[in-house]
Structure 1
Amino acid sequence: MDDIKLLNCFEVLANEAKDLYIRKDVPVIEHPISPLEFHRKWVSPNLPVVLKGAVNHWPAIKKWTNDYLRSAIGDKVVQVAATPNGYADAIADGYFVMPEERKMAVKDFLSVLEEPESLPGTILYVQSQNGNLSEDWVDLVKDIESDLPWATEAFGELPSAGNFWMGDERAVTSMHRDPFENIYCVIRGHKDFILHPPTDLPWLPYATLPAARYQIVKKNSSSSKFEIVPLTSGCESKTTVVKEQLEDQEKNYGKPCNGSGLNELSVEDNMGRLNNLRMDEEHSVEGGNCESFDQVGSSHVPWICIDPEKPDLMAYPLYSNATQVKVRVHEGDVLFLPAHWFHHVKQSHQCIAVNFWYDVRFDHRYAYQAFITALLQNSGLNTGCPPLC
């Protein structure tokens, strides 16, 4: 089958999905939901839904003020992501850049959120996604439930991990997808999601770029300066080469990328693998040297290289076929974000959220995503998408 015919087939798939079951908005359910209804209407068809007020009964909704957090766990030292631009785990200057990870007391973190100008040039965000709810933030679990009973019964198992999120309104989670069923609970403020259904995979371009980490090199009362430190086995700069590769990827989006090296896919498309890169304490940066990858893993990461808020349709014309689904999740609400749905996230200032990851079932949904991925990887329409994990 030639690429034009294959492109037409992908268009049929996306259009049929939109016509039959994918909505342009996320439904909001305002009544308590049973495990059976949740599974039948939302889990089985792999559709997102907002459950209005589903965690309003949690004590955390009223208790988790900054004053309470200071009094309850103010001296607790936690892990915080620091970036110069609010983008952790995102593409910058031809690299896939992870945040600088800092250890700081909760009370100090709260002070910076309350007065961002007290730490100029730095944006902080608690977003480690490594099951931190049972570690750094375990003292707060008493104010919530350890799982959502209707979700646990529907999935047939307890969550595999729980995560605590809190941060600056400037912090952004770039577009990606996770191999987990995600129950996302907003406790304070609101979260704004831009979603793409799995059938949009053919329209979402990836670039496979060398991994790096932000490192602060200048810090004083008036400003902070970060540099991007490559996580490579050597310390030579790859910025020029990688930028040229990224430009080639943009020019050839929807065409073969032979010889560019951007389709050598060696890192799984999930945040769990990235956490292993971030959390490896044995490979910390010292003296501005490159971080070693000898024991961490591959030094290249495939990542979606389009900004859904400002998509460059000249560079990525196929994105015009994609379907953006936007939803704001308010305090007390729960978003069910199905596995393999692409998502980009922003939030209100000092927003707090907790999410639970449930392991995905490897059924027909996984099979058809793997099939679409294989078709893309073996055609001239290769978007650079990595294999499904």
Structure 2
Amino acid sequence: MDKATEEMLVTYHELNGGIDVLHECPSPLEFMRYVAKNRPFMVRAGCSAWPAIRSWNVPHLRTNLRDTPIKVAITPYGNADSVVRSASDGVNYFVKPFEKNEPFSVFLSHLLGQNPDQADSFVRYSQTQNDNLRSEYVSLYEDVEPDIRFASIALQREPDAINLWMGNNQSTTALHRDNYENIYCQILGSKEFVLLPPVETACVNEQFLPGATYNACMEIIPDDPSLKIPSAVWDPDRPKESPTRFSHLSRPMRVTLHSGDMLYLPACWYHKVSQKDSEEGICCSVNYWYDMDFDGTFHATNAFVRNMAWTVLEEHKSH
């Protein structure tokens, strides 16, 4: 099993290079070729013609949204949805953020360091992932495309969700994966992605961890202990911490999206994200989630590879 896993990783990287950089959006047929191969690509200036690129700035957002109530994720260090060791019991938990509704104007003031309540210095991030651009941020919806046309035609479906992400450079997203074909569009500031293909499950040291949630005081409150969440505990930026015997075979790919750039992130790819502010002090992105196709062999094969990786790693622990 070890040798087979190593050969799979080595062979995959020998046959697949880095991220393709396109200078115009692909046709539906060209896009479908990337989907079939489960390979990412970036389009430089792929969304640069959108009204949002020209009009979104702090004064526009403040005027447009005013005191609209929005749901905000709050964490002590900008570490929403990540593995954290609890100081109270020494257990590693997959910790979700504390969430609260607050007026957009208050949220924006926090991002810009203009917090009137200096006692609350926690990090805020708008990351609800619930189609929020067509709900709480609907007043901004006309400034972006209603879908990514080449993706909708190729996949023969409309996006399940269109999400707006807004924060500053204090927020990060830990290594994880999603069952979506993801088209990510950068509006303000920049985002840095670290990408790992699904075959690298054996490298990321996924462990089934208990869930927890931050409370308003940023204390870690355990959830139902019977519910365990598969969570990557190996960080490609800290390769010597919590590795598996296969982590040295990982070949992380890195890409930076600037304002107007677009990224196709295929289903089930592990990704870690950090961000840098615009000159005004905020970072803003929009992504389109298309549900992955569960027909054919990809889902079943990918699930098999993931299960085998868990089995191999458990055998090593038992020895």
Answer yes or no: same fold by TM over 0.5.
yes
Contact 1:164 1:355 in 2 (8 A): yes
Contact 1:210 1:299 in 2 (8 A): yes
Matching residue of 1:329: 257
Matching residue of 2:23: 30
CA distance in 2, matches of 1:39, 1:341: 17
1:14 and 1:65, CA in 2 relative to 1: closer, same or farther beyond 3 A? same
1:82 and 1:160, CA in 2 relative to 1: closer, same or farther beyond 3 A? same
Alignment of structure 1 residues 1-389 onto 2, 5 Å: 6-21=1-16, 23=17, 25-40=18-33, 42-93=34-85, 94-115=92-113, 119=118, 121-217=121-217, 226-232=218-224, 299-313=227-241, 315-349=243-277, 350-362=282-294, 363-379=296-312, 381=314
**Percentage of identical aligned residues:** 35
CA distance in 2, matches of 1:317, 1:86: 30
Shift of 1:27: 1.7
Shift of 1:18: 1.0
CA distance in 2, matches of 1:314, 1:158: 40
Shift of 1:215: 1.4
1:45 and 1:315, CA in 2 relative to 1: closer, same or farther beyond 3 A? closer
CA distance in 2, matches of 1:98, 1:371: 28
Contact 1:204 1:383 in 2 (8 A): no
1:116 and 1:44, CA in 2 relative to 1: closer, same or farther beyond 3 A? farther
SS in 2 for 1:88: coil
Shift of 1:200: 0.7
CA distance in 2, matches of 1:315, 1:188: 35
CA distance in 2, matches of 1:193, 1:373: 22
Moved more, 200-209 or 326-335: 200-209
1:59 and 1:368, CA in 2 relative to 1: closer, same or farther beyond 3 A? same
Unaligned runs of 5+ in 1: 1-5, 218-225, 234-297, 385-389
SS in 2 for 1:37: helix
Contact 1:81 1:126 in 2 (8 A): yes
Contact 2:83 2:94 in 1 (8 A): yes
SS in 1 for 2:19: coil
CA distance in 2, matches of 1:325, 1:172: 17
Shift of 1:109: 1.0
Code of the residue aligned with 1:61 in structure 2: it is I
Contact 1:80 1:101 in 2 (8 A): yes
1:380 and 1:50, CA in 2 relative to 1: closer, same or farther beyond 3 A? closer
CA distance in 1, matches of 2:242, 2:141: 47
CA distance in 2, matches of 1:313, 1:81: 27
Contact 1:166 1:351 in 2 (8 A): yes
Moved more, 173-182 or 374-383: 374-383
Unaligned runs of 5+ in 2: 86-91
1:30 and 1:382, CA in 2 relative to 1: closer, same or farther beyond 3 A? farther
CA distance in 1, matches of 2:214, 2:307: 33
Once the two structures are superposed, residues 331-361 of structure 1 have per-residue CA deviations (whole angstroms, 9 ceiling, x without a partner) of 1111000001100001112111010110111
Moved more, 202-211 or 370-379: 370-379
CA distance in 2, matches of 1:371, 1:315: 21
Contact 1:82 1:99 in 2 (8 A): yes
Code of the residue aligned with 1:227 in structure 2: it is E
Alignment length, in residue pairs?
Answer: 304
Contact 1:51 1:333 in 2 (8 A): yes
1:59 and 1:76, CA in 2 relative to 1: closer, same or farther beyond 3 A? same
Matching residue of 1:283: none
CA distance in 2, matches of 1:78, 1:380: 42
Once the two structures are superposed, residues 241-290 of structure 1 have per-residue CA deviations (whole angstroms, 9 ceiling, x without a partner) of xxxxxxxxxxxxxxxxxxxxxxxxxxxxxxxxxxxxxxxxxxxxxxxxxx
Shift of 1:380: 5.4
CA distance in 2, matches of 1:340, 1:32: 22
Contact 1:147 1:159 in 2 (8 A): yes
Once the two structures are superposed, residues 119-156 of structure 1 have per-residue CA deviations (whole angstroms, 9 ceiling, x without a partner) of 55301101111121111111111111110111111111
Rg bigger for which structure? 1
1:326 and 1:342, CA in 2 relative to 1: closer, same or farther beyond 3 A? same
Structure number with the bigger relative contact order (C-alpha 8 A, sep ≥ 6) is: 1
Shift of 1:312: 2.7
SS in 1 for 2:219: strand
Code of the residue aligned with 1:179 in structure 2: it is N
Contact 2:196 2:271 in 1 (8 A): yes
Contact 2:234 2:243 in 1 (8 A): no
Moved more, 86-95 or 313-322: 313-322
SS in 1 for 2:42: strand
Q: TM-score, normalised by structure 1?
A: 0.74
SS in 1 for 2:238: coil
